[in-house]
């Protein structure tokens, strides 16, 4: 199974830009900017040993502080692309970027101009597609803990300085104490400009956060959505309207959103007919890869290779990739499954893909 997963062409829909900085990348950035983050790989492993979600945010922001120049942004972005491509067979990725924490509009002496940030990620995106064949798109993410000022700035970045690869508008950071409905005007404006709504919701709060994201933010996909399993009416709504959940099993355990992998609600989602995609979130920080998340999903759902191919197709269809990219990647998955001699059913569980419609 590990060999099949490693070669399976994939789309990654829920992966954070800074959160994808591997120890190799962080070590390089820490060498450039000596300070609180160790550059020694062994000490970095200890630094990344999470206690809970609050500690994760602390570590994440420490790494954010290492990304200080456009050169850092470009290096980080291209090296993430390289690591997605090498050994993981990722063909398409939607990276969640948080430009607010790099531009720092309230502290211009520490931040960089949004124009420089945009140029850096776009240069890396084009280079990755040229060099690696990896298609990347961006989701601009509001850091919810920074409140409405951060949302105002993120919306401005998305509307007035949009990179060519921008496809979505998101909301991340801690959920507890951060009301989703305060960002309703920002999501309304982003959606009016043609951006897709992809907030995090229901990771460390209950189903009501997911309902709010659907009703007030117009969510088209839900980041995590772990607590949806607590609300049968919500599961039925997600299934009926084909609203995918971006599921990140290892992340949910690392941040204590779920007590253990054995208790993860992924099987509940699938049994309810909810569209699921498998993702890695902040993979190096959680000691995982997208390959590993597919293997975990296979164990939780009782999937064979054909079932894993179904999961890969579901992610492609749920993506905001251009239709030509979607069609090409689905065809590549079909060809890979066929060449592996694994064509047929999907074991004990059938993964239901979202509609191919873009409505």
Taking alpha carbons only, the member of 234, 265, 231 closest to residue 248 is 265
Reply yes or no on whether 203 is catalytic: yes
Phi, psi angle pair for 288, to nearest 5°: -140, 180
CB-based burial label for 335 (10 Å; 0-12, 13-18, 19+): exposed
The token pair at 62 is 């420490």
- Which stretches of the chain are assigned E, i.e. beta strand? 10-16, 90-97, 135-143, 166-172, 196-201, 222-224, 245-247, 276-278
Count of beta carbons in the 10 Å neighbourhood of residue 294: 27
Q: Report the C-alpha gap between 28 and 31 in whole angstroms.
A: 5
Catalytic residue among 83, 175, 203, 246, which? Answer: 203
Give per-residue burial for 26-49: e unless 16+ CB within 10 Å, then b. bbbbbeeeeeebbbeeeebeebbe
The token pair at 268 is 């509940």
CB-based burial label for 253 (10 Å; 0-12, 13-18, 19+): buried
What secondary structure does DSSP assign to 128-184, as a single string? HHHHH--EEEEEEEEEGGGHHHHHHHHHHHHHHS--TTEEEEEEES--TT--GGGGH
Taking alpha carbons only, the member of 125, 180, 190, 122 closest to residue 155 is 190
Residue positions annotated with a catalytic role = 203
């Amino acid at each position: 199974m590990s060999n099949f997963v490693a070669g399976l062409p994939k789309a990654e829909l829920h992966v954070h830009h800074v959160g994808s900085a591997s120890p190799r990348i962080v070590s390089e950035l820490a060498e450039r900017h000596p300070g609180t983050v160790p550059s020694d790989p062994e000490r970095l492993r200890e630094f990344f040993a999470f206690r809970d979600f609050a500690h994760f945010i602390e570590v994440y922001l420490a790494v954010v502080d290492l990304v200080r120049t456009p050169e850092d942004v470009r290096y980080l972005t291209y090296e993430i692309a390289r690591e997605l491509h090498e050994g993981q067979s990722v063909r398409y990725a939607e990276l969640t970027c948080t430009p607010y924490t790099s531009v720092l509009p309230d502290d211009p002496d520490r931040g960089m101009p949004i124009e420089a940030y945009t140029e850096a990620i776009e240069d890396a995106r084009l280079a990755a597609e040229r060099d690696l064949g990896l298609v990347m798109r961006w989701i601009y993410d509001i850091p919810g803990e920074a409140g409405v000022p951060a949302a105002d700035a993120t919306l401005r970045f998305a509307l007035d300085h949009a990179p060519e690869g921008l496809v979505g508008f998101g909301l991340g950071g801690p959920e507890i104490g951060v009301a989703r409905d305060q960002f309703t005007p920002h999501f309304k404006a982003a959606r009016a400009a043609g951006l897709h709504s992809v907030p995090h919701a229901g990771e460390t709060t209950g189903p009501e956060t997911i309902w709010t994201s659907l009703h007030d933010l117009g969510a088209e996909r839900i980041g995590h959505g772990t607590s949806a399993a607590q609300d049968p009416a919500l599961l039925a709504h997600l299934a009926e309207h084909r609203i995918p959940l971006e599921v990140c099993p290892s992340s949910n355990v690392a941040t204590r959103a779920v007590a253990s992998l054995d208790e993860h609600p992924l099987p509940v989602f699938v049994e309810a007919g909810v569209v699921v995609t498998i993702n890695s979130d902040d993979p190096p920080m959680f000691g995982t890869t997208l390959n590993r998340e597919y293997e975990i999903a296979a164990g939780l759902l009782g999937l064979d290779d054909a079932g894993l191919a179904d999961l890969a197709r579901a992610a492609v269809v749920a993506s905001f990739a251009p239709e030509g990219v979607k069609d090409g990647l689905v065809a590549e998955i079909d060809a890979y499954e066929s060449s592996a001699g694994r064509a047929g059913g999907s074991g004990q569980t059938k993964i239901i893909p979202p509609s191919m419609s873009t409505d």
